[in-house]
Structure 1
Amino acid sequence: MNKVTDFSKRPFGAPDTSVPLADPAASGGRRIPDHPKEAAYFRMLQDHGISLNPSQIDAVRYTEGPLLTLAGAGSGKTSTLVCRTGYLLAVKEADPSGILLLTFSSKAAAEMRERIAGLPGAAEAAPRIQARTFHSFCLWLLYSQGSQKQIFGDTRRQHILLQQIMRELGLGDAYPPENLLAVLSSYKVNLMTAEQLPEASEAERQMKKILLRYEAWKEENGHIDFDDVLTGAYSMLKQRPELLDRLRRRFRYVMVDEFQDTNLLQYELVKMVASPRNNLMVVGDDDQTIYSFNGARSQFILEFEKAYPKARVVTLDINYRSVPSIVGLGNAVIRHNKKRRSKTLRAAIPGRNLPAYMRPASADDEAQKIVDHIVREVSSGKRSFGDYAILYRSSSSSRAVLEQLVIRDIPHIDYGDGRLLYEHWLVKPVLDHLRLSVNRRDFDAMEGVLPTLYIARDKGMTHIRETDAGRPKKGPLVHLLTLPGLKDFQIEKVRQRLESIRSLKGLVPAAAITQIRQSFYDSYIQAGEHSELTSHREMLKEMLDELETSAGRFDSIVSFLAFVDEMMLKNRQTAAVKSQSQGDRVALMTIHKSKGLEFPVVFLIGASEGGLPHASALEADNLRDTRVDAADGDRYTEALEEERRLAYVAVTRAKEELFISSPAFQRGKKAEVSRFLLSAFGGKEPADAGRPARPTGTLRFGKIRSERERTSSGHSGGAGSAAAAASVRTQNVAVWACSAPGCKAWTRIMHSKDMNAAHKPCPLCSSPMKKSRRDVPV
């Protein structure tokens, strides 16, 4: 890999302007308060190596009344919180048991307790301070009042229970359990219950029935889940004013970390406990509000003074994490958001490294170049594997780079669910159809195919095995034709599927997957109205597109399946290492997972339109399940601003080096460089010119059918059809292209025998055709 050619100082297509750089933080003496007791405390901190800047000192000293501390990325918010706690103990002589510090992770709470205990003179008082997560605090409250309900927090058990409920209701596997739980959670964190779930459509009525049974089962069995911990504490405080009054008298000082991540339920809990004194300090960064799908609302920071008119606002604007070019790029990215608190970070750390940008051809090209770079740097002794983190917007984007790491035995740790794309529940049935096309007696694959025919696995496989034992067939799936209870239309569906599987055998794998999707699988996954209620609709489409892209590298279904099996075997061997600490391993994670972390070197991959910003944000107007807080109804702008915040978070994870890659093709479709990168260099964003028009028809998996399309298919002409043509989903496929000058003939390679052929005559001019690739509509 040639470093000069692969990486540049500017994103592809960016104006030839100066590289964004942050201003250096002003040097000079620290401002020590005049009051002797305060001065002694801050000098004591300095003697122990803790030097606070003037803004941090302001936040530490302001203890009476509401305080909003805007903490930019890497600005030392944890140090500020810890030192403020120490200040309350040493200067204000506050009762340690009257200090409540709330955060969002057990790790953060433990770090806070440890650092407070490490302050001079705070070791004895620290254990009495309530430094907890929201859930831990609420659970402590419930148990202190006699609750004996057990936590039902095992995700796998929750999924099994929901699947069991769906089968009891005769719904099979109609809804992914994770989506049902997400819907229920979104209601609870917004102070609503399962009884308030909508019933406007059959799908909504079914989901409500499932979730009401789920809630009833928990009640009957004395269980509560994590959301119930919060709702239970909230209800208890609303119903028992004497208990709330005791809490208010006890907790004189309340502090909340990562305030931008709070949902409505958590926000109301904090307001209840802090009132009426309102000695409330909240620390957060509206530019890092990236969890709207979990109910987080940036408006709590943006409108803090409305809730607390006497609030003081302190901004921590010095970044102690990254070199000036990385801080500068972060500033240049996020400044284009309209709904934000104005702040520009300065850099405390010197350094001349500039972010590097890459424009690879595809995700596989991107992965190879990145891993080549990492291996070269580690081999030369410049870096260790543990210095690197690879970040991406959505989990399916890790497919290519994870494969490279696995194939080349590079030590790595995947902070996702640890599964390859090929192990996902969505992808496995497609692979099972491919497996049956090459081995019709693959009984494991048959079991995976049955749900797509709306046949229960146990019932279908029992019939197939029992019937085949007496009358063996080359393709035992044919025994489904005699399965008792099937209706005529189901029998016809089985016949069609048998023929479809037989027709796959000669196709190249990408063409075979396209055929599976077009003939039944896309409509199966997004059957009826389910697609409009699935929060991961765009993610599902993305995964299947990624599967097609992966398969496009192989000449035959057999070779593709062999590769898949080898990858899964190697991944299982890698996953056997249970340690969750990074160690000397390359870290892979989504941008969401990376928030709050930092790494010497960061690779941000997939930074192209449709990847970051993600396609779901670009289609926000058209997706019923868009879950962003848009008070003004402009879901597109709100979703786009959250995507820009994600880009900002990704950039600001890097300490020393940052590499950003924008593939020219993503999942077979041409992709422009992310608008967030171009605008950071002074380029113009596509704005509403690239905004998809709102449809007047119905939303389906991967395509919007307008009223015109449904009533007069085949109509063409005019600006409307031009826009429609521009929005058609395409894929990059293998083709034969004529080599003769002036001849534009080409034909798609669909069969393995064509892929293996050395040459082919042009049907128009008889000149030799050569293998190439081309974008074609799906």
Structure 2
Amino acid sequence: MINLDHLNDQQRAAVTAPLGQVLVLAGPGSGKTRVLTQRIAYLIEGMGVRPHNILAVTFTNKAAREMQHRLQSLLGDDGEGVWLGTFHANCARILRREAQYLSFDNNFVIMDSDDQQALVKRAIRELNLDEKLYRPTSIHAAISTAKNNLITPADFPTQSYRDEITKRIYERYQSLLRDSNAVDFDDLLLETVRLLVDNPHVRERYARRFEHILVDEFQDTNLVQYELLKLLASIHGNLFVVGDEDQSIYRWRGADYRNMLRFEQDFPACQKILLEQNYRSTQTVLDAARAVIDRNKHRTRKHLFSERGAGERLVLYEAVDEHAEAAFVVDTIQQWVNSGKARGSDFAVMYRTNAQSRLLEEAFLRAGLPYRLVGALRFYGRREVKDLICFLRLVHNPDDEVSLARVINVPPRGVGEKTMVALQLAARQAGLSAGQLLIELGEKGEQSAHWGRFSGRSILPLADFGSQLAGWRRAVAEGLSLPGLFDRILLDTAYQEYIDDGSNEGKERWDNVQELRRLAYEFREGGLTAFLENLALVSDQDTLPEEAGNAATLLTLHAAKGLEFRFVFIIGLDEGLLPHARSKDDPEEMAEERRLLYVGITRAKDRVYLVRAHQRSQYGGPEIQEPSRFLEDLPESLIQRQGQRRHREVWESPESRALRSRVLSPNHRPASAALIEPRFHPTDRVRHPVWGEGIVMESRIQDGDETVDVFFESVGFKRLVASLANLEILPKG
């Protein structure tokens, strides 16, 4: 029997909760992974549930691996058989098993983000639409939102002409996916729900099997995921969900924290348990985080407490500008590291948008401090890695036209755009996919009925590639291992000669190929299908090495979820950055921005540095920044102000103060300060040398200068210092 003595009272109540529906509200650092794994162990050892009858769902592969490792430590081989994985991985597993009920085969490929964008662009082109009017990223987001809300192309609502166009692109996009025997991430969920709804006997089979369903990060579920859980729990009704509405930060990709509220409404008899003891942070960090999040509505208040003591106050640093902001971060880290009291890996620097990392990276490079960047160009998105993945995907599924288009001329073999168009047209006329037609040309040569469709100049490289593809597929059918296939593709295509030109960049690209090859060896037992599925479902955090060495981590607040560090810097605490300008007029968006800051603060074990800049460079010069409204929620007793000192509305740096004292020495001081009259007035039309024309919304005298709020037609709202902005007042009328 497992030992529960090491659990606190709230954790023990959750682990041993009676059957039925259980909602565990787990504050940050409260041991939710421990509770989930102990609950599974308790079901198996304490209640006699067979592992085969337990489904455990996570949101990242990393979380699934950690849970698997802990279960192995707790139960050994007795835990074998639990269905444990991400929503997408579990759905892919079900779809491959039940392919006879679907519109695609069980060897379907999962299109990654880049491939999805490529297909949307292709759909737009094929419909003769303008990409500037119908931006692929925007259209893809609309399609994704529809799928997350269980809306198929046929059901897509059309209330405007743009909706009509989006629906047409959605329909074509789905056709292109099916032509390639492919699905996107959202299809994995949507098609599984449709499978279970349309086939009651299939639903009953899975619902009977999964006597107990456990869900991690429940606050990040969307509508389709919630419906899926209800379908799978429709017979036994044992749903154990763990989440925290205060950490719901993925609204932009469909996550809906209100599923926590829906759970209580749909299951009024559910047991609700709060995990409030934090094992990560000091009490001061927790109190600051609570001061920020308690302003949000539609949530259950949690009284987070820690036995680690009060700890140090949060540092609130205001820099002169964004360059000084980055310098403060790097200088502080360097001082800690040089003192021997911390390692580089103890530090994380978090920001709202990826663009904010540039100045930080430059500052780290100048200081010679190592860093790692999370969520930048992912390893799997690099050109050479993507090439090899597409070769492998094509061997797995010759119908994959996205992969075919990428590698048919890699390395260059004389297959241009005209030849590709001819190939696709011939394939369509023959009722085949382009990949199937290539294989036939490669195997039958001039005996193929389709040989005469191509000119002598274009047919040879097509047939040559088709012959290679047929040979790779034949070798796999005869038992060639995944590493063996990988090496054969490299050899047959002379890929090393193509990618490694002897330069440092070439060597780095070949090193990346070797790293992918090493990963292929890890899947020599699982095979090609498992390997490709793992690659398609990997996330930014999954590529983060377990050991950071001596490097500080740079990452967005969104990417920080689930991580922890001794020291956390959060930069850009200015209106328009955090909270983001997009959230200004949307209460739900603003609430999510507040949750983002809460997540960032609660990543810290020992110390938090909140950093902002008095001014930031924009296209036409410096622009005064307003402090983030969230800073007003922090009690003065919890923070230690550094950097510029407050003088009414503006803080003054030591450098500025020294300069002022020299300039305004007794011999230089004026007898009295001149009274400044505002030059600009509301409704004035002005012209800026970069942003063009705009309208003055407000003007005020602030610390001896005029500050002007202007709405520009080209870039929107800007706040400017009049003496620096070079604004021209336009004649009225």
Q: Give your verdict on TM over 0.5.
A: yes
Q: Where do 5+ consecutive residues of structure 2 fail to align? A: 100-104, 383-416, 419-503, 516-542, 638-682, 687-692, 700-705, 729-733
Q: Which amino acid aligns with 1:612?
A: L
CA RMSD, Structure 1 to Structure 2 (Å): 3.5
* Contact in 2 for aligned 1:149/1:224 (Cα 8 Å): no
Q: Does 1:88 align with 2:43?
A: yes
Following the alignment from structure 2 to structure 1, what is the Cα–Cα distance between the partners of residues 77 and 203?
28
Q: 2:613 aligns with which of 663, 666, 671?
A: 663
Q: 1:153 aligns with which of 111, 115, 137?
A: 111
Following the alignment from structure 1 to structure 2, what is the Cα–Cα distance between the partners of residues 238 and 295?
21
Superposition deviation, residue 726 in structure 1: 5.8
Q: Does 1:301 align with 2:255?
A: no
Aligned to 2:124: 166
Q: Deviations over 1:688-710 (max 9, x none)?
A: xxxxxxxxxxxxxxxxxx9x99x
Aligned to 2:241: 282
Q: Deviations over 1:311-368 (max 9, x none)?
A: 1100000010111111111111111112211112001323522211100122111001
Change (3 A) 1:573 1:223: closer
Following the alignment from structure 1 to structure 2, what is the Cα–Cα distance between the partners of residues 682 and 237?
55
Q: Deviations over 1:719-758 (max 9, x none)?
A: 9xx999465633769x9x7xxxxxxxx78499xxxxxxxx
Aligned to 1:435: none
Q: 1:241 aligns with which of 194, 200, 204?
A: 200
Q: Does 1:638 align with 2:588?
A: yes
SS class of match (1:148)? coil
* Contact in 1 for aligned 2:204/2:235 (Cα 8 Å): no
Aligned to 1:604: 570
Q: Deviations over 1:416-468 (max 9, x none)?
A: 2239xxx9xxxxxxxxxxxxxxxxxxxxxxxxxxxxxxxxxx99xxxxxxxxx
Q: Which amino acid aligns with 2:32?
A: K
Q: Does 1:613 align with 2:572?
A: no
SS class of match (1:246)? helix
Tell me which protein shows more strand as a share of its residues. Answer: 2
Superposition deviation, residue 153 in structure 1: 2.0
Q: Deviations over 1:647-674 (max 9, x none)?
A: 1001001111111102112444322222
Q: Which amino acid aligns with 1:277?
A: H
Q: 2:718 aligns with which of 730, 734, 739?
A: 730
Following the alignment from structure 2 to structure 1, what is the Cα–Cα distance between the partners of residues 582 and 169?
27
With normalisation by structure 1, the TM-score equals: 0.60
Change (3 A) 1:604 1:241: same
Aligned to 2:370: 411
Change (3 A) 1:575 1:381: farther
Superposition deviation, residue 279 in structure 1: 1.1
- Please list, as runs of the form range in 1=range in 2, the aligned pairs for 1:44-123 lying within 5 A after superposition: 45-46=4-5, 51-119=6-74, 122-123=75-76
Q: Deviations over 1:564-602 (max 9, x none)?
A: xxxxx99x9899888742332111111001001111111
* Contact in 1 for aligned 2:698/2:709 (Cα 8 Å): no
- Please list, as runs of the form range in 1=range in 2, the aligned pairs for 1:23-62 lying within 5 A after superposition: 41-42=2-3, 45-46=4-5, 51-62=6-17
Aligned to 1:225: 184
* Contact in 2 for aligned 1:259/1:282 (Cα 8 Å): yes
Aligned to 1:439: none
Q: Deviations over 1:598-626 (max 9, x none)?
A: 111110000111111111101x3xxxxxx
Q: Which amino acid aligns with 2:90?
A: F
Q: 2:628 aligns with which of 671, 674, 690?
A: 674
Aligned to 2:330: 371
Q: Deviations over 1:381-400 (max 9, x none)?
A: 22221111110111122222
Change (3 A) 1:113 1:222: same
Following the alignment from structure 2 to structure 1, what is the Cα–Cα distance between the partners of residues 107 and 81?
26
Change (3 A) 1:91 1:225: same
Larger mean CA deviation between 214-223 and 81-90 belongs to: 214-223
Superposition deviation, residue 273 in structure 1: 1.0
Q: Which amino acid aligns with 1:41?
A: I
Q: Which amino acid aligns with 2:46?
A: V
Q: Deviations over 1:46-94 (max 9, x none)?
A: 4xxxx10001000011131111000000000000011111111111011
Superposition deviation, residue 241 in structure 1: 0.8
SS class of match (1:662)? strand
Change (3 A) 1:97 1:368: same
SS class of match (1:309)? coil
Following the alignment from structure 1 to structure 2, what is the Cα–Cα distance between the partners of residues 576 and 324?
46
Aligned to 2:553: 587
SS class of match (1:332)? helix
* Contact in 2 for aligned 1:261/1:289 (Cα 8 Å): yes
Change (3 A) 1:254 1:580: closer
Following the alignment from structure 1 to structure 2, what is the Cα–Cα distance between the partners of residues 336 and 349?
25
* Contact in 1 for aligned 2:51/2:79 (Cα 8 Å): yes
Change (3 A) 1:575 1:359: farther
Superposition deviation, residue 203 in structure 1: 4.0
Q: Which amino acid aligns with 2:144?
A: S
* Contact in 2 for aligned 1:162/1:214 (Cα 8 Å): yes
Superposition deviation, residue 229 in structure 1: 1.1
Following the alignment from structure 1 to structure 2, what is the Cα–Cα distance between the partners of residues 718 and 639?
26
Following the alignment from structure 1 to structure 2, what is the Cα–Cα distance between the partners of residues 716 and 246?
66
Following the alignment from structure 2 to structure 1, what is the Cα–Cα distance between the partners of residues 20 and 601?
35
Aligned to 2:666: none
SS class of match (1:113)? helix
Q: Where do 5+ consecutive residues of structure 1 fail to align? A: 1-39, 424-457, 460-568, 621-635, 684-705, 738-745, 751-778
SS class of match (1:278)? coil
* Contact in 2 for aligned 1:63/1:279 (Cα 8 Å): no
Q: Which amino acid aligns with 1:677?
A: L
* Contact in 2 for aligned 1:286/1:302 (Cα 8 Å): no
Aligned to 1:650: 600
Aligned to 1:382: 341
Equivalent residues, number: 504
Q: Which amino acid aligns with 1:368?
A: A
Following the alignment from structure 2 to structure 1, what is the Cα–Cα distance between the partners of residues 158 and 725?
49
Q: Does 1:210 align with 2:198?
A: no
Q: 2:94 aligns with which of 135, 141, 148?
A: 141
Change (3 A) 1:305 1:282: same
Aligned to 1:32: none
Superposition deviation, residue 220 in structure 1: 2.1
Q: 1:267 aligns with which of 208, 215, 226?
A: 226
Following the alignment from structure 1 to structure 2, what is the Cα–Cα distance between the partners of residues 656 and 406?
26
SS class of match (1:359)? strand
SS class of match (1:417)? coil
Q: Which amino acid aligns with 1:217?
A: L
Following the alignment from structure 2 to structure 1, what is the Cα–Cα distance between the partners of residues 198 and 217?
28
